[in-house]
Amino acid sequence: MKKITADNTIFAMGKDNPPALEVDPGEIIEFSTKDCFSNQIQSCEELFESADWATINPATGPVFVKGTEPSDTLVVDILDITLADQGVMVAVPEMGALGDKIEESETKIIPLENGYARFNEKISLPVKPMIGVIGTAPFGEEIPNGTPGDHGGNMDTKHIVKGTRLYLPVFHPGGLLAIGDMHAVMGDGEVIICGVEAPGKALVKVDVIKGKTLNTPVLDTPDHFYVIASEKDLNSSASKTLDKTYEFLSERLPLSTNEVCMLMSIACDLQISQVVDPLITCRMAIPKNTFALYSLSFA
């Protein structure tokens, strides 16, 4: 196993970031990460406005996976996620989907104890560690870590958890994988701009599928495939997600166009990941049991 510390931080994903680590396909890596505020907010007295905006959404990396080329797909198996013993949330006027309701900034420190995030004396939520930012270097200009895209990035998709596999497009040699922005708890939409933000560690295995190119991230969980896409507004994001899902299914199913579209309407679920980043992220859930007699594999 190789380790990469949180000192190896980038704030935008791009081809010009020098690799912090080089690995062979099949290797296991432990990524240590800062929270989305670069660990700057440690008490209720420290407000979001006190943080350096230039250091928001750090990601640890990038990692160069040897032998990986733009015609390939990067495979990231998420083996484990561990978090610190407390998380932080902020509410900020005019930020997020609920910003017009917030009159003054507030910081809330949330203890993470015995598998629960203790919001207050009466409300505790089960901790469900997830990765908010994970991606490769994008095709063109660098993209800030706060923005999702075809390369992955700040997808804030709550199903990116231990025991799942993420397929990412490769646009440059080595892929240049980076990971950050972990959450202890997050609801679909992330409507107030944050979940329960926490530093932590992600243990992942990286591999490569040679000669197979993706055009958007795809998440593989025990029960579903999720096709993930991001665009400038919700309608555009939903439309792009539907298009990408149609491509995914039609390439793998010996069915007519009409049949694929019918199945998308009755078997698949169009869902929202987040509505607060510079681009909106949607996903479509494809239940594996429905297509069990067909092959939806990436091999």
Give the model confidence (pLDDT) of 225-254 as tens digits: 999 999 999 999 999 999 999 999 999 999
Q: In the predicted model, what is the mean pLDDT of the chain? A: 97
User: For position 53, what pLDDT does the model report?
Assistant: 84
Quick check: 295 pLDDT over 90?
A: no
Over residues 182-186, the mean pLDDT reads 98
Q: What residue segments make up the domains of the chain, in order of their start? A: 2-41+55-84+127-209, 218-291
What is the β-pairing status of strands 73-83 and 106-113?
unpaired
How far is 177 from 63, CA to CA, in rounded Å?
A: 5
Whole-model pTM over 0.95: yes
User: For position 269, what pLDDT does the model report?
Assistant: 98
Q: Which CATH class is domain 218-291?
A: alpha beta
Tens digits of residue pLDDT in 261-271: 999 999 999 99
| Helical spans, DSSP H, in the chain | 234-250, 257-266
- Here the tokens at position 141 are 């200009």
End-to-end CA distance of the chain: 25
Tens digits of residue pLDDT in 54-74: 899 999 999 999 999 998 999
What is residue 172's three-state secondary structure? coil
**Third-level CATH fold of 2-41+55-84+127-209:** Jelly Rolls (2.60.120)
How far is 148 from 295, CA to CA, in rounded Å?
A: 29
Output DSSP code: residue 286. Answer: E
Q: For residue 153, give the nearest of 138, 175, 172 by alpha carbon.
A: 138
Over residues 277-284, the mean pLDDT reads 97
Give the number of other Cβ atoms within 10 Å of residue 140's Cβ. Answer: 10
Quick check: 299 pLDDT over 70?
A: no
- Here the tokens at position 138 are 């994008």
How far is 95 from 77, CA to CA, in rounded Å?
A: 33
**218 CB-near residues (< 8 Å, 6+ apart):** 166, 167, 225, 226, 227, 228, 248
How far is 65 from 190, CA to CA, in rounded Å?
A: 31
Confidence of residue 212 (pLDDT cuts 50, 70, 90): confident
Over residues 92-98, the mean pLDDT reads 96
Spacing of C-alpha 28 from chain mean position: 19
Quick check: 159 pLDDT over 70?
A: yes
Tens digits of residue pLDDT in 126-147: 999 999 999 999 999 999 999 9
- Degrees to nearest 5, angle at CA 65 with 24 and 277: 145
